Every structure is written in C-alpha cells, then in structure tokens.
C-alpha cells in the first residue's frame, strides 16, 4: 500500500490529506510558469479579444507587476519607490538626502566651515566635506536638522542609516584628519563612529551603518573600518538627527582631506539585520480563503527572504514556500503579503533584493 505523499497508488489504497497536498503542489510549478506569461502580458499590454476588453477573466487570482502601489507604509519597514515596477530592499536615500541636485538642500542641512579653506558642498550625488589649510584646525560640518530632515526620534520603529564614505588625501604635512558621525539635536552631539587618518596621501572607502534602537534610546555603529561605538546613550537629545564632522589638524603644508559621503537609510521593525516589506490589502475574496500558492520573481543580492501570507487582513501571517500550496491555520477573506529579508550578520552594506512581480492563486480546493 502506497504511503502518504506517494502518488503511485492503486485501487484500494488510502488517499491521505498529504496526497492532496502533493497533487496540488504539482500545480505550483505549472502556476509559476503560467504566471510568467501573465506578468509579461501585463507589462506589454493585453492584445486580445477576450471578454470584449482584451483582459482575461481569471478567478481566485491576484496578479501585480507594480508592488510599489501595494506597500502599506504603516507596516513596512523598508520602502523604496524609485523603481516604478518593483520594490527594492536597499537604501531608501530620500530618508536622508539623495544629493542629486549639486547644491546643499537648506531645507534639510545646516552646514558650517571654519579654518583654512574648509567647505561643505554637494556633487556627484554625494555630500562633500572638504578640510584644508587648518593651522591649527580646519573643520567642515553638516547636520540634517531642518524642516525636511528625518528626526529618527519621532519614528515608532528602530532605524538604520547606511553610509558609504569615500576619502581622498592629497598634499603633504598632514598631521591628522578625522571624520566623525554623530546623532545630534544641534546642541548635544553623541559620537557613534570615527575614523582618523595620519597620512597625507591615499584614498579609500569605508562602509558604515548606524543603528538606532528607538525603545532603548541608544545608537550603535557597524563599519568596515574605524572606531565603532556600541549602545551610545542618546536619550538626552531632544531630536535625533544625523551629523557629520570633518576635522584637519596642524596642517603646515598643502594637505587636503576630502570626504565624499553617500547616504541612504532604513526604517526597521525587526532585528538588527532584518528588512521587512508588508503589503496593503491585496484581495478581498468572496469566500473564506483556506489555501493559496505564492509565485514571485526576485533578484537576491544578499541575505535570504522569508515569505508570509495572511488571509485575515494581516492579523496573522503564516510562513509559505514559493510555488507550493499553503493551507491556512487562520482563515479569512482578505489577503496580504509580507517578506522579511535577513542578512547573515551585522552588515556594513545594505542588503539588496529586487522584487519584481508576484501572483497569488487561492482556494484551489
């Protein structure tokens, strides 16, 4: 007698519930392949005489080629709407500034430069801190504390700020040069990361991630180089703004230190290395949803994804496997999707994962 899940049955064998699941899972790959044609037709436009409109009449099916439009901002921790037809688990640089207009946005930044020929500017989609001619010191400072800046204290979720810092040192007789990152309210400056350079020549790049724990009121740095500070108490700050300071000391020659800062950020509601996308309401079914298959096209460049579906409007999410049937424990009529992308460790660079199209076929039986 064939066991449960073995479909090589003969008359008289018992049909188990696991056999039904196995049969339906055989349809999962067929649905995945069929969904590719649906995605493609949705992107290039329907050209048919179906139903008098050209659009097919599918039942118990949700299809989207534009996940951006389905993001629930109240529940999503990573939102990037730069791509028209996909969501992206990566830096959402509008959280800080995308530096794309070659001028300092005064509605975001307060800048200052003292000593020598220090200068704060913007070019090449980067914030530039230039320190030179400091005798005894030259400083360049930028703090995102204006009306359009992000105050991380006001966010209800934990936050991470991702940075890439390219540095170039030229000239001679540079005693020391330093770049520091603070969480600040404009008066109280809490240093969370710094890097000191003692040579006048050379160049390089450093990745830094600043994670703010909203409930603990602390900030921690993770970086590929420099001094990371852990669980810095920032509770005394009336606001939590990002602040950069470049300092050049005792420059008696022609040394120049330039820091090119590329900023992008995340709002996190999971662990230190988690990034979450949760959809809004995708589909309201006419009958109770008891099972579903999720098909999704993606491009993972780091970490791994865990997928969950909810049939009860997000009250309960249940983990699913792509292209396989899922039987809901918590049934309902309102479908939502959640994706959590998790890195293997505390990462200096952001996880990247492009989500292009997805479809959900439900109530197969």
pLDDT tens-digit readout, 63-120: 777 665 555 555 555 444 344 455 555 443 445 676 778 899 899 899 999 887 888 9
> pLDDT band at residue 269, thresholds of 50, 70 and 90?
very low
Last residue of a domain, one of 268, 287, 307: 268
Q: Are residues 155 and 185 in the same domain?
A: yes
pLDDT of residue 344: 47
Tell me if 4 is assigned to some domain.
no
Q: In b/e form, how buried is each residue of 8-34, taking b as 16+ CB within 10 angstroms?
A: eeeeeeeeeeebebeebeebbeebbee
**168, 171, 174, 176 alpha-carbon torsion, rounded to 10°:** 0
Please write the tens of the pLDDT for every residue from 270-305: 455 566 777 878 889 999 999 999 998 877 766 678
Last residue of a domain, one of 268, 302, 321: 268
Residue-range definition of the domain harbouring residue 101 = 93-268
Dihedral sign for Cα atoms in the order 268, 271, 273, 279: negative
Tell me if 7 is assigned to some domain.
no
Tell me if 166 is assigned to some domain.
yes
Length of the chain equals: 365
CATH number for the domain that contains residue 72: 2.60.120
pLDDT of residue 130: 84
pTM: 0.61
Q: Are residues 264 and 280 in the same domain?
A: no
Please write the tens of the pLDDT for every residue from 208-249: 888 888 889 999 988 888 899 999 999 999 999 999 998 887
pLDDT of residue 70: 59
Q: Are residues 299 and 255 in the same domain?
A: no
Q: Are residues 111 and 137 in the same domain?
A: yes
Dihedral sign for Cα atoms in the order 46, 49, 53, 55: negative
Q: Output helix, strand, coil percentages for the chain, rounded to the nearest 5.
A: 10, 45, 40
Tell me if 119 is assigned to some domain.
yes
Q: What angle do CA 50, 38, 68 make, to 5 degrees?
A: 120
CB atoms under 10 Å from CB of 275, counted, come to 27
Number of helices (H) and strands (E) in the chain: give both, helices first.
Answer: 1, 21
Q: Are residues 249 and 296 in the same domain?
A: no
Question: Number of structural domains, the chain?
Answer: 2
Q: Are residues 154 and 252 in the same domain?
A: yes
């Amino acid at each position: 007698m064939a066991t449960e899940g073995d479909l090589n049955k003969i008359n008289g064998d018992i049909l188990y519930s696991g056999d039904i699941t196995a049969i339906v899972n055989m349809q999962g790959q067929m649905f995945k392949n069929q969904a590719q044609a649906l995605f493609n037709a949705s992107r290039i436009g329907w050209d048919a005489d179906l139903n008098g409109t050209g659009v097919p009449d599918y039942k118990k099916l949700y299809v989207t080629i534009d996940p951006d439009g389905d993001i629930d901002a109240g529940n999503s921790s990573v939102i990037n709407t730069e791509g028209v037809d996909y969501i992206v688990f990566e830096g959402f640089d509008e959280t800080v500034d995308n530096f794309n207009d070659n001028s300092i946005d005064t509605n975001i930044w307060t800048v200052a430069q003292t000593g020598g020929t220090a200068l704060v500017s913007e070019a090449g989609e980067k914030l530039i801190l230039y320190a030179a001619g400091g005798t005894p010191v030259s400083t360049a400072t930028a703090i995102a504390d204006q009306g359009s800046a992000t105050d991380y204290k006001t966010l209800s979720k934990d936050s991470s700020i991702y940075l890439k810092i390219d540095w170039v040192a030229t000239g001679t007789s540079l005693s020391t040069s330093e770049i520091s990152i603070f969480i600040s309210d404009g008066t109280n400056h809490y240093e969370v990361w710094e890097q000191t350079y003692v040579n006048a020549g050379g160049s390089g790049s450093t990745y830094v991630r600043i994670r703010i724990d909203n409930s603990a009121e602390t900030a921690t740095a993770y970086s590929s180089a420099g001094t990371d500070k852990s669980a810095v108490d920032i509770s005394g700050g009336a606001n939590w703004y990002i602040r950069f300071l470049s300092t050049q000391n005792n420059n008696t020659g022609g040394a120049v230190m330039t820091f090119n800062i590329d900023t992008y950020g995340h709002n996190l509601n999971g662990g230190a290395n988690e990034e979450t996308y949760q959809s809004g309401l995708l589909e309201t079914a006419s009958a109770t949803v008891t099972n579903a298959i999720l098909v999704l096209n993606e491009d993972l460049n780091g970490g791994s994804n865990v997928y969950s579906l909810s049939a009860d409007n997000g009250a309960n999410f249940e983990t699913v496997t792509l292209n396989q049937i899922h039987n809901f424990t918590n049934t309902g009529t309102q479908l939502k999707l959640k994706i959590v992308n998790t890195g293997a460790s505390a990462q200096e660079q952001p996880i990247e994962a492009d989500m292009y199209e997805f479809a959900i076929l439900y109530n197969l039986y």
